Amino acid sequence: MIHAILSGRDALGVMPTGAGKSICFQIPAMLLPGLTIVVTPLISLMHDQVRTLIESGIPAAYLNSTVPEEEYRYVLSQIYDGRIRILYAAPERLETQSFLQIAHTLPISLVAVDEAHCVSQWGQDFRPSYLRILTYLKEIPRRPVIAAFTATATRVVADDIIRILGLHDPVQQITGFDRANLHFSVTRGINKQNLLVKYIHEHPDTSGIVYCMTRKLVEQVTEALNRNGIAATRYHAGLSPEERKANQEDFLYDRKPVMVATNAFGMGIDKSDVRYVIHYNMPRNLENYYQEAGRAGRDGAPAECILYYSGNDIIRNRYLMGMDSGNDHLDEETRRRLRERDEERLLQMSSYCTRNSCLRQYLLRYFGEDAPSYCGNCSCCETNYEQQDITVDAQKIVSCIYRLDQIGLQFGPGAVADILHGSKAERYEKFHFDGRLSTYGIMAEKSASEIRQIIDYLLVEAWIGLGGEYHSLRLNRKSAELLRERPTITMNIVKAPASAHSTVPEDLDAALYARLRDCRKKIAAREGVPAYIIFTDATLQDMTRKAPDNENAFLAVSGVGRIKLEKYGEPFMQEILSYQKTGQGSPA
């Protein structure tokens, strides 16, 4: 792809997070004669990438609404003097006078569009502001090479990107979506808050992101973590820009290693040492999930992608989808098709959460890749399941829905599970189910959580459905078939819990690895940069394995170059030598 861009061809890169999208336009930017403009949607992403480029000796800058006037003028002077090779901007800035002047005055060799799926109304995060890119391109007297990049795009969205951006016979690099270092898991029917606190306490001194569906949940979860002695911060659109920036820097610099956020934090992360991403709620679609989960393990070291699932997540997502006020400029027919698309994607996401077969296979097949039925690195492949006949249980559930409808009542999955279990909760007392509903308590031998899992499975397999304003359980043609023809229905049930999964490889000397992490932390604090800027976790792990004690050996460590050796080699080698001699680390 880099060679194609340098030869003057347009390009489309569909590459998962961490696969090297930035390199594909950063290297050409250094070799092409003119300026490279990178369009990206979030200010935080610009700041992080520019800082990393400058740290590596590459002249880069960004211009956005947060830059003070004096600094803005200074950056413009640097651009016109030819001292800036890569300029980052949000699509909204392209229509400003300064950017129009750059288009008319300076040679622009390359325009790179990051998060290019935002240009397609069929993508998971359509942003009308991205259409301004087309207007800006027309202002450039000599058409530059155009390169578009995204981490997640189906074939339909990829074709849309090519059409809308007007890419000319683009070279297409569609890298495999699989990232072997990521461990995927779904946990169902649990106390989310208790499980989250327990998990984070079991993974101290590691950086992680917890995604929540709403701002209110972000506040509640952050408060709960802090109350339990966990240094966590928060991020959502309801905070002031100043607080969002301060909280993000606390996270990047590991002052508060846990970030609790809505998906407003989704595309602004350039932190490579995130060891886990936990979704507190089910996202709306697999595109969003895979992009957000992909913020983990960008350095290639082992990382966890965990999803806490509740059947109520479907109802909450439908409610939020109905509340969305975006896309007001669309006609009613297009709006209807988008609603149908969103509903289909929500059901596909729900299917991922309720399946008992390989999660990685399901994700990869969704994005058009063949994948084996066993990966050995997801909760389903690691869990001991046994296939059970649930035909009778399914018939009881269908009968309960039918009997409720006969007495003029409709409930969601959670309430139906309670009724079948025979719940004595106060909220059901007014209905007097024990005297008027024959199916009340007929599954008392199972917990409400177990019943709910069977209901979720029946929903995914379309034996029952959801309907009405409150998304109550409804019967359909397959429900009638279940009662009339009595087909056998089987479901995989957990026989034994999945084994605990560690983000640190077993072959590492844990004591030496801890000392090298501490050394990195001290240097990062002294230089005022995030720890991963010094060395990534993957580099530290390789350093632990190789234990280099001289410059040539240090250069053989993955992720170490001559500049890194000169800047940081000595303290790390001293730490290694000290550990080998005495087992006692020396200060960095």
Residue 588 is assigned to a structural domain of this protein: no
Q: Does 280 lie in the same domain as 135?
A: no
DSSP 8-state symbol, 129: G
User: How high is the pLDDT of residue 113?
Assistant: 93
Q: Does 393 lie in the same domain as 379?
A: no
List the single range of 74-88, 116-130, 467-481 with lowest mean pLDDT. Answer: 116-130
Task: Kindly indicate the confidence band of residue 191, based on its pLDDT and cuts at 50, 70 and 90.
Answer: confident
Q: Does 444 lie in the same domain as 352?
A: no
Q: Does 82 lie in the same domain as 54?
A: yes
Q: Does 490 lie in the same domain as 402?
A: yes
Which structural domain, as residue segments, surrounds residue 532?
510-582
Task: Kindly indicate the confidence band of residue 307, based on its pLDDT and cuts at 50, 70 and 90.
Answer: very high
pLDDT higher than 80, residue 127: no
pLDDT (tens digit per residue) in 148-160: 998 777 778 888 8
Q: Whole-number mean pLDDT of the chain? A: 86
Of residues 66 and 261, the one with the higher pLDDT is 261
Q: Does 459 lie in the same domain as 437?
A: yes
Which of 143, 174, 205 terminates a domain? The answer is: 174
Residue 503 is assigned to a structural domain of this protein: no
Q: Does 337 lie in the same domain as 305?
A: yes
Q: What average pLDDT does the segment 210-230 reach?
A: 95
Cα–Cα dist 141/106, whole Å:
10
Which of 496, 523, 541 terminates a domain? The answer is: 496
Q: What are phi and psi of 20, to 5 degrees?
A: 105, 30
Residue 124, classified by CB atoms within 10 Å of its CB into exposed (0-12), middle (13-18) or buried (19+), is buried
Name the most confidently modeled range: 325-339, 452-466, 566-580.
566-580
Q: What average pLDDT does the segment 353-363 reach?
A: 87
List the single range of 229-233, 240-244, 277-281 with lowest mean pLDDT. Answer: 240-244
Residue 308 is assigned to a structural domain of this protein: yes
Tell me how many degrees the CA angle 398-467-390 measures, rounded to the nearest 5.
25
C-alpha 107, offset from chain centre: 36
Residue 544 is assigned to a structural domain of this protein: yes
Q: Does 170 lie in the same domain as 222?
A: no
Other beta carbons less than 10 A from residue 402's beta carbon: 14
Q: What's the total number of domains in the chain?
A: 4
Which of 119, 151, 174 terminates a domain? The answer is: 174
pLDDT higher than 60, residue 327: no
User: How high is the pLDDT of residue 584?
Assistant: 56
* Closest-CA residue to 283 (of 125, 160, 415, 153): 125
With a threshold of 0.75, does the pTM exceed it?
no
Tell me how many degrees the CA angle 391-397-403 measures, rounded to the nearest 5.
135
List the single range of 39-43, 440-444, 459-463, 502-506 with lowest mean pLDDT. Answer: 502-506
pLDDT higher than 90, residue 441: yes
Q: What average pLDDT does the segment 432-436 reach?
A: 88
User: How high is the pLDDT of residue 495?
Assistant: 61
Residue 502 is assigned to a structural domain of this protein: no
User: How high is the pLDDT of residue 124?
Assistant: 55
Residue 16 is assigned to a structural domain of this protein: yes
Cα–Cα dist 81/75, whole Å:
10
Q: What are phi and psi of 116, to 5 degrees?
A: -65, -15
pLDDT higher than 60, residue 367: yes
DSSP 8-state symbol, 119: G
Q: Does 158 lie in the same domain as 39?
A: yes
Cα–Cα dist 188/314, whole Å:
13
> pLDDT above 90 covers what percent of the chain?
42
User: How high is the pLDDT of residue 94?
Assistant: 87
User: How high is the pLDDT of residue 494?
Assistant: 67
User: How high is the pLDDT of residue 356?
Assistant: 78
For the domain that residue 426 is a member of, what is the CATH number?
A: 1.10.10.10
User: How high is the pLDDT of residue 77?
Assistant: 92
User: How high is the pLDDT of residue 125?
Assistant: 67
User: How high is the pLDDT of residue 80?
Assistant: 92
For the domain that residue 281 is a member of, what is the CATH number?
A: 3.40.50.300
Residue 186 is assigned to a structural domain of this protein: yes
Q: Which residues contact 117 (CB under 8 A, 6 or more apart)?
A: 123, 124, 125, 150, 152, 153, 157, 161, 287
For the domain that residue 557 is a member of, what is the CATH number?
A: 1.10.150.80
pLDDT (tens digit per residue) in 259-271: 999 987 855 566 8
Q: Does 145 lie in the same domain as 34?
A: yes
Of residues 503 and 60, the one with the higher pLDDT is 60
Q: Name the amino acid, one letter, at 327.
A: N
User: How high is the pLDDT of residue 308?
Assistant: 95
Task: Kindly indicate the confidence band of residue 325, based on its pLDDT and cuts at 50, 70 and 90.
Answer: very low
Residue 504 is assigned to a structural domain of this protein: no
pLDDT higher than 60, residue 275: yes
Output the DSSP codes for 489-523: -EEEEEEEPPPP--SS-TTS-HHHHHHHHHHHHHH
Q: Does 336 lie in the same domain as 247?
A: yes
Q: Does 544 lie in the same domain as 479?
A: no
Of residues 405 and 386, the one with the higher pLDDT is 405
